[in-house]
Chain A
Amino acid sequence: MTETTQQILSIENLDKAYGTVKILKNINVSIEPGEFLVLVGPSGCGKSTLLNCIAGLEESTAGDINIGGRSMIGVSPKDRDIAMVFQSYALYPTMTVGKNITFGMKVRGIPEEEQQAKLAEVAGLLQIDHLLDRKPSQLSGGQRQRVAMGRALVRDPQLFLFDEPLSNLDAKLRVEMRTEIKRLHQTLGASIVYVTHDQIEAMTLATKIVVMKDGVIQQVGTPNEIYNHPANMFVADFMGSPSMNLIPAQATSSGDGTKISIARTGGEYLTLSFDREIAGMNGSGAKEVILGLRPENITDPLSIVAQNGQLADCHIDVVEPAGSDTFVVTSLGGKQVTARLRADAEVVAGQNASLAFDLSKASVFEPESGARIA
């Protein structure tokens, strides 16, 4: 492979099975220097397994992993030029913080002065200087997290691997550490593979997101691509909070463009015009589809984004003020549909209100396969 030389990591056709159970299926991923790749997916989809394969802690069943252009088949974890941060932190319980951080260098036989210089540098960077003589059991969750990162940072590796490093922290600390990790990435220009099941973490940290489900990659793209052009209904549903409305509808195409009609309670239809081609319709006929609309694309008529919106009166079932926005729930196509309105929009539960539908950012999916068709 000639191009792999400039890639930090490239995974080709990787399979992994435990006995007869296939955990990872035909994984292909690569990252460039300085990229922050986030692997996201529900628990049990094989994210940790993939990370362990990259680290060399698990053997893959088929396929190849290249790090820095070098095939990693048969290369042990210590020779892969990687560092890893674990979900449980995995600090050595009887060693002090300082010893935890320098353990790897000690094993490698790096001179004592060099170890101490590195330790001081990393401890300063992570602001854990004052903790170096403590045992892990004397640290708070956030401090343990920092020590675990310190242990990875002293290695100065080609590639950092993070396995859900923030999932054991409380909500506030998690946001703080998220920012910190992002800052570290920017200051160090490090290449990172980061695993999480939290889609918000994925969106905020990544330069590139890989969405996985049941050991299969669903989509690879920038946060923007993943959010605005989800490749299938799983990605659409998994990424974004509140999640995308997936509304059963019927698309009809004729000479004067495409229309999408949604059944409403009482037998009427809400018909909206759609300005893109739907794959497989060839500009004519009718087709059952799933219309994917994010809550922010259904809003009140006064909001600016509603300029290219199409207005419709909807019965408001529930109003949920959230401070910065007001979420309302209405019923469309037999589904509960969430719309995001201005905080001071005047809506009352149980009454009708005019909502603006912006289909320019809508996605359309094939109901059977769930694949994106527009």
Chain B
Amino acid sequence: MTDMSMNNAQSEKSAARVRLAQRIALRFGLYALLIVFALYYLMPLFVMVTTSLKSLDEIRTGSLLSLPRELDFSSWATAWSSACTGIQCEGLRPFFWNSVLLSVPAVFLSTLLGAVNGYVLAQWRFKGSNVLFALMLFGCFIPFQVVILPMAMTLGVLKIAGTIGGLVFVHVVYGIGFTTLFFRNYYVTVPQELVKAAKVDGAGFFRIFFSIFLPISPPIIVVTVIWQFTQIWNDFLFGVSFSQAGTQPITVALNNIVNSTTGVKEYNVDMAAAIIAALPTLFVYVVAGKYFIRGLTAGSVKG
């Protein structure tokens, strides 16, 4: 009997050991896989950064993946202030500011309008509000290309064609579908009794919006701002279609730098310019990313 129980105990112990080993192996495999994917995705960035820090000679002679022999920041300076975007040779700088002047108001306005729309569609339902919401959702999925022609005509009629204001208008109109969707889905989880209580307390439409709904909105505001900023900053098609010489956004300028073929191709300048163009979105992600995840997963208001 003691024999048997000892056998049992032993086999149990070894089974536990096997299970532990399996678990460790599984973990190891998982991490290995994740690391491979991370490297795969980081590779282009690595190439971009290293290339931007090499001299043209080194790029021509060395391998794509090698580290720069000596750090050369001159191509960054060139990209920023003296690279040629066609006949003009002032680098990305003026276009960077165009993009800022365009993105900030467009993000702000589309987010604010989305918040008000979402508030109405979630909490102040009216006859046909569901149809309206469905149409707005539909608007999210209309491809950019389809709206270009009618939008060009609209801008012409409004006499804002080719201006930064016109681009802001385009992005606000195109963004409202998404921002409304975000806010509507966030506010729909707020109990209707909250609005009723505020009405009994004497508050009106905007009072309730600003005193009760806006204060619970930071998570969804962050999500919307990141989404809109990324969309608008990275937009090329609207930028190239609706701007003219002085109002082009940075994406258009980047394209012009890369495509202006005067003599040798300056890969280091192209890479530096591409990184500069991408930095602001990266910055927004890093600053607000924590809230981004939180806003996507959380939603309901308890308490």
Contact = CB atoms under 8 A, between A and B. Distances in A.
Interface of A: 52, 55, 57, 76-78, 82-84, 86-88, 90-95, 103-104, 107-108, 135-137, 139, 144, 151
Interface stretch (B43-51, B143-151, B167-175, B201-209): B201-209
A84 B211 contact: no
B199 to A, nearest CB: 5
A94 B215 contact: yes
Contacts of A88: 191, 193
A90 B191 contact: yes
B268 to A, nearest CB: 51
A84 B200 contact: yes
Interface string B193-221: 11011111111000100011001100000
Nearest to B302: A137
B301 interface: yes
A52 B301 CA distance: 23
Given A77-B200, A78-B201, A94-B216, A103 B211 contact: yes
Contacts of B303: 91, 93, 135-137, 139, 144
B197 A78 contact: no
Nearest to A148: B197
A182 to B, nearest CB: 23
Contact of B201 (A104, A135, A139): A104
A76 to B, nearest CB: 8
A163 to B, nearest CB: 8
B216 A55 contact: no
B247 to A, nearest CB: 40
B193 A104 contact: no
A169 to B, nearest CB: 15
B202 A84 contact: no
A105 to B, nearest CB: 9
B301 A55 contact: no
A84 B196 contact: yes
A90 B197 CA distance: 6
A145 B82 CA distance: 67
Contacts of B207: 107
Nearest to A144: B303
A332 B202 CA distance: 58
A95 B194 CA distance: 13
Contact of B199 (A78, A83, A94): A78
Contacts of A76: 199
24 contacts: A57-B200, A76-B199, A77-B200, A78-B200, A78-B201, A78-B202, A84-B197, A86-B193, A86-B196, A86-B197, A88-B191, A90-B193, A90-B197, A91-B303, A92-B197, A94-B216, A95-B215, A103-B201, A107-B203, A107-B207, A108-B202, A135-B303, A139-B303, A151-B201
Given A78-B201, A84-B196, A108-B202, 19 more contacts: A55-B196, A57-B200, A77-B196, A77-B200, A78-B202, A82-B200, A84-B197, A86-B193, A86-B197, A90-B191, A90-B194, A92-B194, A92-B212, A93-B216, A94-B216, A103-B203, A104-B202, A136-B303, A151-B201
Q: Closest 6 interchain pairs by CB? A: A137-B303, A104-B201, A78-B202, A94-B215, A90-B197, A90-B193
Nearest to A80: B200
A95 B303 CA distance: 11
A104 B207 CA distance: 11
Contacts of A139: 303
A107 B193 contact: no
Contacts of A55: 196, 200
B215 A57 contact: no
A104 B201 CA distance: 4
Contact of A92 (B198, B199, B302): B198
A55 B23 CA distance: 61
A107 B212 CA distance: 13
A76 B199 CA distance: 9
B264 to A, nearest CB: 59
A107 B204 CA distance: 9
